Amino acid sequence: MLRSDEFYMHRAMDQAHLAFAAGEVPVGAVVVDAHGEVVGAGHNAPLASCDPSGHAEVRALREAGQRLGNYRLEGCTLFVTLEPCMMCAGTMVHARIARLVYGAAEPRTGMVESKANLLAQPWFNHQIEITGGVLAAPAKRLLKQFFAEKR
């Protein structure tokens, strides 16, 4: 059963809290298939995994690909608590996801609305539907708390 955007964003927030607890920048993501089932989840973990590509989105998309046995995740929606960077936006295009839903805007590195809209380039033959600002306030609050504790 397909639930609301807020429902899935709460699942992504759960992932962000896992990142927070692990000392990683608290960003979380889930991938939901066309039937509304969560098929992938991931949190930010570049430090623990010694992996510059260890962003929440990439980890969730990898898990979904393994689970579905296909690197193309057609019909899937990616929910992420923070506006994606260029690497993650590019990975979404490779994955052919149908839709992106994100929480807080990322004014420094966001590549969907803040710095540019990479996904809206006319030379991409795959278009992704975008919804921003879902549960933006708690996502932002968690990031603020994380960086306040780091200082």
57 is a catalytic site residue: yes
Nearer Cβ to Zn ion (39/78): 78
Closest separation between CB of residue 142 and Zn ion, Å? 17
Place of tokens 């807080």: 104
In terms of CB distance, is 87 or 105 closer to Zn ion?
87
Beta pairing partners, 102: 80
Selected catalytic residue, list 6, 37, 57, 149: 57
With respect to Zn ion, which residue has the nearer C-beta, 88 or 101?
A: 88
Tell me whether residue 76 is annotated as binding: no
DSSP string, 21-83: HTTS---EEEEE-TTS-EEEEEE--HHHHT-TT--HHHHHHHHHHHHHT-S--TT-EEEEEE-
Contact positions vs Zn ion (CB under 5 A): 55, 85, 87-88
Q: What is the CA radius of gyration of the chain?
A: 14
In the complex, least distance from residue 61 CB atom to Zn ion, rounded to whole angstroms = 11
C-alpha distances in Å from residue 55, one per residue of 4, 34, 78: 24, 23, 13
Minimum CB separation from Zn ion for residue 125, in Å?
A: 22
| Closest by Cα among 80, 84, 129 to 106 | 84
The set of catalytic residues is 57
